[in-house]
Amino acid sequence: MPGQDFDAVFVSPVGRLGIRVEDGALCRLEFLSGHYRLRTARCADTRRLQRSILAFFADPRAVSGIECRLSGTAFQCRVWRALRRIPAGKTMTYGGMAERLGTSARAVGNACRHNPVPIVVPCHRVVARHGPGGFAGDRQGRLVQIKQQLLYAEGVEIRG
């Protein structure tokens, strides 16, 4: 049954979100379709993380202290750490991030695509030189609209 692999599935301003928590740390956050059934958080850590994620939409800094347990390559983890250093309300281009990390814009985009906890690791703050760029592997459609909504929640408006 959809949603069983999440510790909570809840409604947010950008649609349903599913989260997975291990030992009090967030390890997965996904943007879900409406086909996923809502799932109430059963433990205190999951409820706390859900509240922090929802608080993002009123104050994007609310997620900055969330502990994450991320699994990825050494390079992906390096990019994800750099993403967490982009302040709320600010953006950086894929090229700018690549220059900072001594790599290519495509490699940065690929690491962003595999980010297991968007919003908390704010890959939405990395944008194309002209427009929002892709999001979670999509170049247009629902996920790119979500990226624009996340940026808008931070006071950033980027037209594609």
Q: Which of 27, 43, 77, 123 is catalytic?
A: 123
Annotated active-site residue 43? The verdict is no
Round to whole Å and give the CA distance between 90 and 114. Answer: 21
DSSP class of residue 38?
Answer: P
Angle (CA) 136-87-116 rounded to 5° is: 30
Nearest alpha-carbon partner for 72 in 64, 80, 84, 62: 80
Contacts of 123 (CB under 8 A, 6+ apart): 83, 112, 115, 135, 136
Per-position DSSP letters for 44-75, written without gaps between them: HHHHHHHHHHHHTTT-GGGGTT--B-----HH
Round to whole Å and give the CA distance between 128 and 16. Answer: 26
Residues with active-site annotation: 123
